[in-house]
Amino acid sequence: MPEFPADDKEAIPDDELLFRRIYPDPGHLVPLGDGTGYRPQSGALRSPAPLSVDRASLSTPEETRDRDKSSPFHVAAVPAGAVRSVGCKVVRDPEQGNLAHCLVYGQHADGKGGLSGGQAEKIARKARIVLLNPAAV
């Protein structure tokens, strides 16, 4: 298995929220049992590469959504500690124009840093949609 960068635990505390754009497809949302909102479906968090997220201390849900204008995305939030609790690493990866950018490295069997199916499912259950595109519900 390849060696990935070290987790930035000191720079990104467990209680910091991480924002992730969610494609505006009704199948990517799961209603919460108490009727108060939605969480992402686990498939919306799957990627062959490390998961791209933004730190809430350096971004807003609107800024995260608007970094990609190709679709009117939803935005989910999950605490960094919840991501780490399922064996993922959270690594700073600032980009030009986006100092909030981070990568979440998972343990997918292919070794490319994507989330395993189990990791995606557990993270999805802990995440909440914090910016909803009403046209895609």
Q: How much is the pLDDT for 2?
A: 56
How far is 2 from 17, CA to CA, in rounded Å?
27
pLDDT in tens, 26-65: 789 999 999 999 999 999 998 889 999 999 999 999 999 9
CB distance 45 to 106 below 8 Å: no
Q: What pTM did the predictor assign?
A: 0.93
* Cβ-count burial 2-24 (b if 16+ within 10 Å, e if not): eebeebbeeebeeebbbbbbbbb
pLDDT grade, residue 1 (50/70/90)?
Answer: very low
How far is 91 from 118, CA to CA, in rounded Å?
20
Across-strand partners of 134? none
pLDDT in tens, 75-127: 999 999 999 999 999 999 999 999 999 999 999 888 889 999 999 999 999 99
